[in-house]
Structure 1
């Protein structure tokens, strides 16, 4: 069995033991779909992109508040839940549940499935090619966001009101 088949089998098994889970997917930490078991009304690319956004916010909140590495993100809506759980360094298990889902049981089954997915993602069968470049550097989505957001203003930036226009006349009073 190749990696894709192993991941699909793990998702199928998860859905078999979790009847209140409506959709499940394995996505990369940068928002690309890896494997999924979705109903027709859920778009794979859209679910993966939303998962990446939630993951980024969760990572920033956990690390920014001194709570360490992100373990899971839990979103509760009127009609159900969306749960993201880390599955190793490069993947996330996403589950979309109905409103009647037993949350504790869903989280328990997700942890079991995450352990399987982590093993599948970490294994590299000899029949699959390795990376093309050996100097590829992986960064988490939080690292990428942090890299583009300035934390302090550049030295030449002056905070305060903008300078007056060069030919502007001062306003002496309001009429």
Structure 2
């Protein structure tokens, strides 16, 4: 897990991520990362490298944001990737960065979007993370 164990912001964010995983069937990995690709808090499936995951998600978000601006779609709110092994969502969490969620393919996409947006809003409500 990324972040200092005594970091109250990361502790609260991990609690929100655990709640998402526990109440939203099929969520395998989730994490909050900064726009420049640093993992802030995560609950990941075994074998997932959190730092690499955060860096790749930040790159996807940056490219998607630029594409949305190019076609005049305004500020990007969410990216949905549909893979053979299930969907992955990237959802902005305000100034805190972005929430990445990977779920099973049997998961209802509509419910996953709703749960992810609610968790992203709760993370945004934590305010900015203090410290490094």
Task: Using structure 2 for the length normalisation, give the TM-score.
Answer: 0.89
Query: SS at the partner of 1:68?
Result: coil
- How far the C-alpha of 1:89 sits from its partner, in A, is 2.2
Q: Report the equivalent of 2:33.
A: 27
Query: SS at the partner of 1:89?
Result: helix
Q: CA RMSD in A?
A: 1.6
| Structure 2 stretches lacking a partner, 5+ long | 1-6
Output one character per residue of 1:9-50: Cα deviation in whole Å (capped at 9) or x when no partner: 110111111121110000001111000000121110111011
The 2-side partners of 1:24 and 1:9 are apart by 12
- Larger RCO (CA within 8 A; separation ≥ 6): 2
2:18 counterpart of 1:12 = yes
The residue correspondences of 1:110-125 to structure 2 (distance < 5 A) are 110-122=116-128
Query: SS at the partner of 1:67?
Result: coil
- How far the C-alpha of 1:90 sits from its partner, in A, is 3.3
| Structure 1 stretches lacking a partner, 5+ long | 132-175
Output one character per residue of 1:107-151: Cα deviation in whole Å (capped at 9) or x when no partner: 1111110111001133x7xxx66x9xxxxxxxxxxxxxxxxxxxx
Larger of the two Rg values belongs to structure: 1
The 1-side partners of 2:113 and 2:48 are apart by 21
The runs of at least 4 aligned residues of structure 1 exceeding 3 Å deviation read none
- How far the C-alpha of 1:57 sits from its partner, in A, is 1.2
Task: Using structure 1 for the length normalisation, give the TM-score.
Answer: 0.68
